[in-house]
Amino acid sequence: MATDPIVRVAGLHKYFGRLHVLRGIDLEVARGEAVMLVGRSGSGKTTLVRCINFLEEPTLGSVEVDGLRVEADPLLSRGREHREQIRQIRLRAGMLFQEFNLFPHMTVLENLIEAPIRVRGLKRDEAVALADQYLAKVGLTDKRDEHPARLSGGQKQRTAIARALCMEPKVLMFDEPTSALDPELIGEVLGVMEDLAHEGTTMIVITHEMHFAREAADRVVFMDEGQIIEQGPPDQILDAPQDPRTQQFLRRFLATGAGSGAD
Amino acid sequence: MAQHTDLTRPTAALEPDVAGELAAGLRRSRRRFRLEVLLVWALLIGALIGSLVAIDKIDPVFISTWAPFILGGAGLTIVICLGSILLATVLAVLGALGRLSTNPIIYAVASLYVSLVRGTPLIVQIIFIFFALPQLGIVLPALQAGIIALGFNYGAYMTEIFRAGIQAVPRGQREAAEALAMPERLVMRRIVLPQAIRIVVPAIGNEFIAMIKDSALVSIIGVTELLWRASSVGNSRFRTFEAILIAAAVYWVLTIIFSFFQERLERRMARGDR
């Protein structure tokens, strides 16, 4: 399906102890594609995304990002060489967290330039120029010298997005980026993400915001019990799901009104 | 019980100036209370010393003659404490990193250090470094030996403080840094340690105050600090009571002064920027 995949996950399994959390995931994400992962909590969405940049070490299978393929190494037996490969994967795949995880001891600008300078080896003025560019993009130029504690949740997540963009990754992964936000702040974050999607940023997004998925997704992937059950264009998955599990999920989801309030 | 039920009833908001006056009044009465406490302290101490002078058991002339000499040792006491806390902090950071290491050799070295030092008396360590090491050809001047002994000792205890501090930095911080492709060392040095240090600064303050008192132990190897000066002039003139009393008073005042700064620091940290 994808002719030019940026991300290729093949035969991925993950065990936490005896718990089989991912049961053979195969997923390809094409350049410029926005893929939304939906499913109940506990279905393995977060684990999948965390396995793609090796915040969790997969038990079996392989992850390929922009041509760099890394096999699962559950016993961490390959040591330094493996760690360096993982770092290369992380350079290619940026990640956003539910809890933002800005560095509280640094200003917004310092948060943005830290890794570009120390990891990518940019000169300070290059990194600052890059940071200013992305701060403008997320609309936070005036917060440049604030500490994160002075920002609202929405501003924090937008800062985190700018921080990830400063690494100029090939794909951005979002792990429920708006679930920790007050309802009235969700819109500003989703707005930035929608812009990114429309500009052709390759994205993998775990979300419960169905409205957003409909607007911004090229493809919706429904997961249940560690497997991909069904995937396709948003209107197909959200309006005419084939699998009974998808139907049940969406029915219950809409009935409880979870994830509403955004727009 | 009955008269408390009134408190649960919704009350009308106070006029702003009434609320302000109330707050000022509370502040005044709190200040008054503190003042009274200090007054009683002064009275008790004054009465104690006064009665000792009155019954001729204490020699005011000795005190006025020798107090400056004994007080002169306070500077050295502070120097010892500053040097030791510096050494201890460095050792504690290394020790904590070692105790958190997955490398068995590094972990073993760090945990042996902590175990050995915490399992032996400080006074034994001081004597060991000053009197026993020369047998191996390692001869240290008393001051350096004292600082090293205190530094190593406190470093072991502070290792646990730093370890707890590092672990208190939220996991998400480390993950965010890792997700930015920062290598492990950089994550520790730039993201985790700076936050851990903020967390442990108040605890280090406590250690410093404890050290002011423990530094008296180095008098046994002849470092001419507070206690050494007090006991030497006291013993030679058979005025141990007065001399030790002066030394004790100086330690007391020093700890009060540093506690004051430490409290302010703690309050500033609590306000912090997180």
Task: Please write the tens of the pLDDT for every residue from A155-169.
Answer: 999 999 999 999 999
What residues pair up with A222 in beta bridges, in sequence order?
A: A38, A230
Interface test with A, best of B180, B190, B198, B199 (most A CBs within 10 A): B180
Note the Cα A68 to chain centre separation in Å: 18
Distance from CA of A47 to the nearest CA of B (A): 14
DSSP one-letter code for A231: E
Alpha helices of chain A — where are they, by DSSP H? 45-52, 79-92, 108-118, 124-137, 153-165, 183-198, 210-216, 234-239, 244-256
Give contacts of A177 with chain B, Cβ < 8 Å. Answer: none
Give contacts of A87 with chain B, Cβ < 8 Å. Answer: 181, 183
- Considering only CB atoms, A101 lies closest to which of B173, B198, B272, namely B173
| Cβ-defined contact of B176 to A87 (cutoff 8 Å) | no
Handedness of CA B226, B228, B229, B232 (dihedral sign): positive
What rounded mean pLDDT belongs to chain B? 89
Contacts of A63 (CB under 8 A, 6+ apart): A7, A8, A9, A10, A12, A51, A52, A54, A69, A70, A89
pLDDT tier at B1, thresholds 50, 70, 90: very low
Mean pLDDT of A210-235: 94
pLDDT tier at B3, thresholds 50, 70, 90: very low
pTM for the model stands at: 0.82
| Cβ-defined contact of B176 to A101 (cutoff 8 Å) | yes
| Cβ-defined contact of A115 to B173 (cutoff 8 Å) | no
| Cβ-defined contact of A90 to B173 (cutoff 8 Å) | no
Distance from CA of A53 to the nearest CA of B (A): 7
Distance from CA of B178 to the nearest CA of A (A): 8
| Cβ-defined contact of A118 to B194 (cutoff 8 Å) | no
| Cβ-defined contact of B175 to A118 (cutoff 8 Å) | no
| Interface of chain A toward chain B, CB-CB under 8 angstroms | 53, 55, 83, 87-88, 90-91, 94-95, 97, 99, 101-105, 114-115, 118-119, 147, 149, 160, 163-164, 167
Mean pLDDT of A13-36: 95
Q: What is the per-residue pLDDT across B38-81, written as a single tens digit (0 to 9) for each?
A: 999 999 999 988 888 888 778 888 888 888 999 999 999 999 99
Over 60: is that where the pLDDT of B5 sits?
A: no
Q: What is the per-residue pLDDT across A58-92, written as a single tens digit (0 to 9) for each?
A: 999 999 999 999 999 888 777 888 889 999 999 99
Q: Please give the backbone phi and psi of residue A94, each rounded to the nearest 5 degrees, phi first.
A: -80, 155
Interface test with B, best of A97, A101, A120 (most B CBs within 10 A): A101
| Cβ-defined contact of B273 to A95 (cutoff 8 Å) | no
Give contacts of B103 with chain A, Cβ < 8 Å. Answer: none
Q: Is A135 exposed, middle or buried (0-12, 13-18, 19+ CB in 10 A)?
A: buried
Distance from CA of B272 to the nearest CA of A (A): 9
Quote the CA–CA distance of B187 and B173 in Å, as a whole number.
9
Mean pLDDT of A220-249: 94
Residue A3: the pLDDT is: 61
Distance from CA of A182 to the nearest CA of B (A): 19
